[in-house]
């Protein structure tokens, strides 16, 4: 071996190797922390990370990933984690991990320092959540109406005091009133048009009159010769043709006019619909409560449920976005010379670029577990950048425990094997102590529920850009504490009912069909509230509603009569004239046909006489 090689190649190589070996751990730690922080948007910190050479792999004693939404808490932290890479596949540029061991995975632990990242001057895109769900929460809030839902006023006496019925039924505010005015205007305009049409009919009538005059002038007795009869017959036939033309024109115009008149008669019926709409609008302005109490528990529970849904949807969106993004393929750099052709040979086992086959998670076995934290254990399988090669979807099977009784069993799968990605989550929560949950709103029944227990079953399916979730939650052991005294009868009822209720169920379904977000919220609390509220408020409400209805009907009735009178006047005028024209045309045609018959009879008589005189002459000779 040449000496120069030892001095210039071998020794530098050994020195570089030593430097790399000494600093490798800190370089890898730094790279992984940066990548993790870019992904989560919060601090990611490794403790004592080390790279092992044989087998090649990583090991660390602790990892903390801060919650970007609550920087003083960790999303999760782990104890010792270790895994080895498949060396053979690493040489091919593939990162294959057969099994990863994660110890002491704990969720939601407190941090001693803030996990927030220093703010960058340039606006950066948010790392998680958004994408297809960016508007989901906005739509969900809108669908549930939590933000814009107006509190119904349950105090009928105060409603009556404050409410100005005259103002509510002011004609200027009524759609039906404006509609009648509009119809009157349209009727006046149509009436003018009808007169024009009648004028045109009058002109055609003149043609018929002229024909009639000509034919009346024919005296059948004065027709002495065959030629005179033939000429008279032609005149009569022309007259009949003219009369038929006039009849046809008249019929067409009569049909058009009748249709228009009929449409105005039927539009009068639409006034009733408008009156009903006005009534509903007035009731909503008065904020009268629905006696069925439908939606009351939505108002009471909606805020808290939306806050919880918002929290979990963020992470569903996060998973959907980041797992999908792993599928991006890297472009191979093209060699400078003729590329040649790569010939593929059968592979014993095809591997994707990145694949963690199995992560075994243990939530720790120590007896001194903090009851405030969530300890997770289970397995995560097949984290990869290309599920089409592995042929397996990514799955999560976790059992998360908190304290002695609270457990959450979470099964999830992320399928990217087909063109349409499919995420499915199934969670079963048992023995959860929610502690304190806020109910109501500042303007309606502000209250807290203490010591509440919850059990929930949640199913979420995210195929492509669609979304479908179904949650069944059972609350029990509840004790409601109201922050203020009841302001009215219904609040009093609701307070009484809620205080007596120790358990209730909530079903919540949220899904999107096409571009439309839909939500179905139901709870048996509604029925409990409704039966009590109906008994107290039903009669009083009905009476007040009748009062409003009568006032409205009064306002509209006079106006409606005006319109009906005008319509009757215009309609009668047109129909009378049409009737007159109809009988005149029919009479004229009858007269013309009579005259034609007379002339024909005269013609026959003349021919008969002529024949008789010819026969008599024959016998005389």
Partner 1 sequence: MFWIKFVTNFLKILRAGQTPKQIAGAFALGAIVGLSPSLTLQGVVIWLVIFMIDVNLSAALFAYGSFALIAYLLDPIFHSFGYFLLVDVTALHVFWTYLYNAPLAPLSRFYNTVVLGSFVSGIILSVPVYFGMKKFVVAYRTHIHEKVEKWKIYQVLNRSSLIQWYQRVRSMGV
The binding site for partner 1 (CB under 8 A) comprises 1-2, 5, 9, 87-88, 91-92, 335-348
Number of residues that this document lists for the chain: 621
Residue 346 or 391: which CB sits closer to partner 1?
346
| In the complex, minimum distance from the CB of residue 89 to partner 1, in angstroms, rounded to a whole number | 8
| In the complex, minimum distance from the CB of residue 13 to partner 1, in angstroms, rounded to a whole number | 10
360 sits in which H/E element: strand 354-361
Rounded to whole angstroms, how far apart are CA atoms 364 and 17?
Answer: 38
**From the CB of residue 43, how many other CB atoms can be counted at a distance below 10 Å?**
22
- Residues 36 and 60: beta-carbon distance below 8 Å: no
Rounded to whole angstroms, how far apart are CA atoms 54 and 511?
Answer: 50
- Between CA 276 and CA 285, with CA 281 as vertex, the angle to 5 degrees is 150
Rounded to whole angstroms, how far apart are CA atoms 279 and 326?
Answer: 57
Separation of first and last alpha carbons in the chain:
168
Rounded to whole angstroms, how far apart are CA atoms 85 and 465?
Answer: 35
Burial of residue 347 (number of CB atoms within 10 Å: 0-12, 13-18, 19+):
exposed
Residue 338 or 618: which CB sits closer to partner 1?
338
| In the complex, minimum distance from the CB of residue 350 to partner 1, in angstroms, rounded to a whole number | 11
Three-state SS at 450: strand
- Residues 414 and 421: beta-carbon distance below 8 Å: yes
| In the complex, minimum distance from the CB of residue 85 to partner 1, in angstroms, rounded to a whole number | 13
| In the complex, minimum distance from the CB of residue 6 to partner 1, in angstroms, rounded to a whole number | 9
Residue 355 or 373: which CB sits closer to partner 1?
355
Residue 22 or 53: which CB sits closer to partner 1?
53
Residue 121 or 336: which CB sits closer to partner 1?
336
**From the CB of residue 376, how many other CB atoms can be counted at a distance below 10 Å?**
23
| In the complex, minimum distance from the CB of residue 363 to partner 1, in angstroms, rounded to a whole number | 37
Residue 329 or 342: which CB sits closer to partner 1?
342
- The DSSP bridge partners found for residue 388 are none
- CA distances 60 to 46, 181, 237, Å, are 7, 82, 115
| In the complex, minimum distance from the CB of residue 383 to partner 1, in angstroms, rounded to a whole number | 23
Distance of CA 144 to the CA centre of its chain: 11
Residue 121 or 346: which CB sits closer to partner 1?
346
Residue 89 or 362: which CB sits closer to partner 1?
89
| In the complex, minimum distance from the CB of residue 11 to partner 1, in angstroms, rounded to a whole number | 13
């Amino acid at each position: 071996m040449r000496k120069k090689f030892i001095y210039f190649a071998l020794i530098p190589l050994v020195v570089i190797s030593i430097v790399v070996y000494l600093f490798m751990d800190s370089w890898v730690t730094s790279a992984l922390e940066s990548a993790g922080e870019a992904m989560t948007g919060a601090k990611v910190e490794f403790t004592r990370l080390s790279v092992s050479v044989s087998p090649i792999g990583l090991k660390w004693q602790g990892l903390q990933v801060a919650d970007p939404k609550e920087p003083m808490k960790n999303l999760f932290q782990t104890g010792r984690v270790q895994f080895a890479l498949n060396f053979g596949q690493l040489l091919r540029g593939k990162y294959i991990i057969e099994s990863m061991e994660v110890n002491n995975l704990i969720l939601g632990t407190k941090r001693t320092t803030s996990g927030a990242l220093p703010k960058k001057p340039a606006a950066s895109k948010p790392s998680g959540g958004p994408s297809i769900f960016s508007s989901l929460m906005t739509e969900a809030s809108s669908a549930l109406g939590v933000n814009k839902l107006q509190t119904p006023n349950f105090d009928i006496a105060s409603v009556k005091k404050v409410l100005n019925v005259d103002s509510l039924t002011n004609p200027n505010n009524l759609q039906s009133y404006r509609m009648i005015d509009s119809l009157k205007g349209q009727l006046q305009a149509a009436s003018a048009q009808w007169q024009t049409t009648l004028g045109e009919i009058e002109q055609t009538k003149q043609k018929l009159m002229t024909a009639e005059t000509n034919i009346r002038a024919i005296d059948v007795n004065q027709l002495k010769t065959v030629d005179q009869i033939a000429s008279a017959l032609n005149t009569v036939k022309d007259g009949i043709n003219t009369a038929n033309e006039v009849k046809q024109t008249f019929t067409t115009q009569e049909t058009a006019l009748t249709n228009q008149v009929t449409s105005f008669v039927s539009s009068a019926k639409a006034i009733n619909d408008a009156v009903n709409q006005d009534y509903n609008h007035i009731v909503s302005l008065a904020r009268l409560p629905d006696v069925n109490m439908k939606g009351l528990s939505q108002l009471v529970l909606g805020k808290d449920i939306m806050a919880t849904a918002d929290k979990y949807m963020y992470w569903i969106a996060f998973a959907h976005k980041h797992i999908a993004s792993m599928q991006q393929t890297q472009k191979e750099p093209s060699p400078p010379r003729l590329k040649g052709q790569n010939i593929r040979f059968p592979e014993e086992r095809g591997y994707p670029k990145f694949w963690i086959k199995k992560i075994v998670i243990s939530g720790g076995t120590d007896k001194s577990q903090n009851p405030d934290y969530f300890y997770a254990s289970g397995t995560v399988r097949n984290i990869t950048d290309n599920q089409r090669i592995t042929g397996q979807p990514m799955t999560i099977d976790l059992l998360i425990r908190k304290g002695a009784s609270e457990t959450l069993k979470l099964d999830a799968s992320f399928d990217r094997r087909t063109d349409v990605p499919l995420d499915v989550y199934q969670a079963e929560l048992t023995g959860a102590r929610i502690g304190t949950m806020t109910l109501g709103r500042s303007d309606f029944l502000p209250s807290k529920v203490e010591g509440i227990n919850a059990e929930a079953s949640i199913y979420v399916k995210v195929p492509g850009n669609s979304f479908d979730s179904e949650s069944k939650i059972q609350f029990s052991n509840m004790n409601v504490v109201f922050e203020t005294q009841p302001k009215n009868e219904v609040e009093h009822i609701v307070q009484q009912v809620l205080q007596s209720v120790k358990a209730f169920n909530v079903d919540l379904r949220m899904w999107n069909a096409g571009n439309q977000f839909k939500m179905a919220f139901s709870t048996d609390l509604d029925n409990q509230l409704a039966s009590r509220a109906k008994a107290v408020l039903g009669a009083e409400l009905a009476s007040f509603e009748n009062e409003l209805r009568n006032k409205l009907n009064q306002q509209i009735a006079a106006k409606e009569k005006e319109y009906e009178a005008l319509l009757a006047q215009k309609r009668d005028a047109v129909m009378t004239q049409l009737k007159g024209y109809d009988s005149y045309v029919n009479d004229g045609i009858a007269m013309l046909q009579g005259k034609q018959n007379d002339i024909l009879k005269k013609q026959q008589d003349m021919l008969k006489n002529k024949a008789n005189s010819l026969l008599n002459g024959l016998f005389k000779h």
